[in-house]
Structure 1
Amino acid sequence: MTNHQTTATRVILEEAAALSELAQNIPSSFTNLVDCIISFKGRIILTGIGKSGYIARKIAATFASTGTAALYIHPAEASHGDLGMITEQDLVMMLSNSGETKELFDIINYCKRFAIKIVAMTMNPTSTLATNSDFLLPIPKIREASTIIAPTTSALMMLALGDALTVAVQEAKGFSKDDFRLYHPGGKIGANLLKVKDLMRSGDQLPLVYENTAFTDTIITITQKSLGCAIVINTQYNLIGIITDGDLRRHLKDMSSLKYAYDVMTANPKYILPTQLATEALYIMNNNSITAIPVIEQGILVGVIHIHDLLRVGIS
């Protein structure tokens, strides 16, 4: 192992040990803070400077994306007018390793003047920030993994405790995958939270045939609908079977003897519900080497979803 690898191993192990220590010492005010957040109507204002500021930004972003109104304010900008963004209905969470970050003092004084509750996340439980807080989230006093004491372990613990807080609030509120999708309509997250009903083909797009549909007409249906399959149903729209391009190729030598769709179809095919995630459809397709799945609701065929529909929107 090289010296660089040795350093990397040491840093990661020290930080892992710090997280373990944090997990065994969740602050006593954590539960009361969660209860406060889920009951009040204002916003969570995050602030901090330096590395603590970066962590504060991340916590604010996670709160906002999981249904809790939150934003980050830079302490220096707060002292030059942005304090007006903080209202008496808000909750201010300040991050500072030492708890003596002078840039935060104007915000502390402002909060005290207007009785705005303060959450302090700090490694110093006797600091100015800590003693002026309504909710104290102390970080275990563990040395930094950096030999020059650059913020490493402390920043990671703040990040982890922030994640724990946002997830606890999210779960207490009953924030669902559907809710999460509303805040992430674009990109990979939005795509992977789409449901089958959002992408499935329906109505005139469906390649439908009956058991007694002539084999030649079945081929025409498969060709016209361009989904590489035909769905076999009865008159009540119950799913009977499926015929794929692969089924046709496997029966090439028997073409002259085939009369009906029933002669070629695969009975009891895989199917999926419209309310399931589209990612589940892709999983079924990959695991069964198929490219299309019928969509069933209360026993009735309502659609079909094709692998191209999934890949087109970036589902993986």
Structure 2
Amino acid sequence: MEKEQITIEKDVIEIGKRVIRIEASAVAELEKRIDENFSKIVELILNSKGRVIVTGIGKSGIIARKIVATMNSTGTPALYLHPVDAIHGDLGVVRKEDVVICISKSGDTVEVLRLIPIFKRIGVPIISMVGNLNSQLARLSDYVLNVAVKEEACPYNLAPTSSTTATLAMGDALAIALLEKRNFTKENFALFHPGGNLGKRLLLKVEELMVSGNEVPKVHTSTPMKETIIEMTSKRLGATCVIDDNGKLVGIITDGDLRRLLHRTENVFSLTAGEVMTKNPKTIKKDALAVTALQQMETYNITQLVVIDDEKIPIGMIHIHDLVKAGLSSSEIDNETEQ
């Protein structure tokens, strides 16, 4: 029984590996087909003033939806059009300034072919992604992307596996080529993903999380330590800014400074803020990214930063707890997010 179980496991493992090999080979073959024709299609879409309308049915329809999603999130407006719904009124979304991509493994999908005469009447350029260059769809299209595969990963060569993977990869190639030609940045990407981690990393600014106004703890260099401690306690940020006669930041006193001070002297209340403060504290500007603030805190092993304006006047304070509460974490820090 144990030998039989081992045999079954080996068979399953080999099946899984075979599928990956077949699909990887199908995708690798596509590289040879990225040529001037591909470049012309990218230029066509770039110069279009409309959207990319992608259509397909069955498994091809699922791949079409994914290509649309990728294009939309990378700066190329796109829309999925179901072939059956299209002939029942949804063709109204197609405009002459759009570009159409039709997906079909055989190139003879009846539901898709029925749309071609209407697309031509509207005047939209037609790109087909097909697995058969001699098909009707290929012949009727203005541009053709060859996504043919030698074999499906299915042992009966029936279930769309390698073919759908290859089509998806070609769609990704188009989307990323368009992204780069548009000079689409991480910040642009984040604008379309404001709820995700990337959006938080690239959009959230310090001023959106900092404490400001009267909530910012401040004391003058001449302030006695008793009053300084009261200020720190009342504002509950674990620190206070220390300013000079012009209101400019000259230092900071933290809870840690107080603990270290108690180890050195018992005459804490005989001192002033200026005598206790740490000079030249770490600061940040309000328009800096919140993730940059978190990075500085991690780098210098501190829990707060003073937010200053161009005159070095403290206008806010940001604490690590505010950053964590906003959904940022040290695992998301990355040098590329530095300003």
1:108-119 aligned at under 5 Å gives the runs: 108-119=116-127
Indicate the residue corresponding to 2:41 in structure 1. Answer: 33
What does residue 128 of structure 2 align with? 120
Q: Which residue does the alignment assign to 2:252? A: 242
* Pairwise CA distance, 1:239: 4.5
d(CA) in 2 for partners of 1:288, 1:142 = 57
Match of 2:293 in 1: 281
Aligned to 1:311: 324
Cα-to-partner distance string for 1:241-266 (whole Å, 9 max, x where unaligned): 43322232233333534413344434
3-state SS of paired residue (2:88): coil
- Give the one of 151, 168, 186 matched to 1:159: 168
Report the CA distance between 1:43 and its aligned residue: 1.4
Equivalent position of 2:62 in the other structure: 54
TM-score, scaled to structure 1: 0.86
Structure 2 partner of 1:224? 234
CA distance in 1 between partners of 2:247 and 2:131 (Å): 65
Cα deviation for residue 117 of structure 1 reads 0.7
Is the alpha carbon distance of 1:85 and 1:207 closer, same or farther for their aligned partners in structure 2, counting shifts above 3 Å? same
| Pairwise CA distance, 1:277 | 2.8
CA distance in structure 2 between the aligned counterparts of 1:252 and 1:190, rounded to whole angstroms: 43
Give identity over the alignment, percent: 46
Deviation at 1:214, TM superposition (A): 2.8
Residues 215 and 104 of structure 1, relative CA distance in 2, 3 Å threshold: same
- Structure 2 residue runs of 5 or longer lacking an equivalent are 1-8, 330-339
2:66 is paired with a residue whose SS is: helix
Tell me by how many angstroms 1:25 deviates: 3.6
> Which residue of the partner structure matches residue 272 of structure 2?
260
SS in 1 for 2:115: helix
Q: Report the 3-state secondary structure (helix = DSSP H, G, I; strand = E; otherwise coil) of the residue aligned with 2:259.
A: helix
Q: What is the match of residue 219 of structure 2?
A: 209
**Which digits, 9 at most, give the CA deviation of each residue in 1:19-38, with x for residues without a partner?**
33334542432222222223
Q: Which runs of no fewer than 5 residues in structure 1 stay unpaired?
A: none
1:287 Cα deviation after fit: 4.3
Residue 129 of structure 1 is matched in structure 2 by: 137
Of the three residues 302, 314, 317, the one matched with 1:290 is 302
Moved more, 56-65 or 171-180: 171-180
- Partners in 1 of 2:185 and 2:317 — Cα distance? 26
CA distance in 1, matches of 2:10, 2:281: 55
Shift of 1:289: 3.5
TM-score, normalised by the number of residues in structure 2 = 0.81
CA distance in 1, matches of 2:250, 2:287: 21
**1:98–1:289 CA distance, 2 compared to 1 (3 A):** farther
One-letter amino acid matched to 2:292:
E
Using a 3 Å threshold, how does the CA distance of structure 1 residues 82 and 286 change in structure 2: closer, same or farther?
A: same
Q: Does the 8 A contact of 2:22 with 2:151 survive in 1?
A: no
- Residues 261-309 of structure 1: per-residue CA shift (max 9 Å, x gap): 3444344444444444323333333444432223345463443322222
The CA distance in 2 between the partners of 1:299 and 1:15, in whole Å, is 60
Q: How many residues end up aligned between the 2 structures?
A: 316
Letter paired with 1:168: A
Q: Residue type of the partner of 1:165?
A: L
Indicate conservation of the 8 Å contact 2:284/2:306, yes or no. Answer: yes
User: What letter is aligned with 1:280?
Assistant: T
Aligned to 2:199: 190
- Superposition RMSD in Å: 2.8
In the alignment, does 2:83 pair up with 1:75? yes
Compared CA separation, residues 147 and 219, structure 1 to 2 (3 A): farther
CA pair 9-298 structure 1, distance change in 2 beyond 3 A: farther
2:147·2:167 contact (CA, 8 Å) conserved in 1? Answer: yes
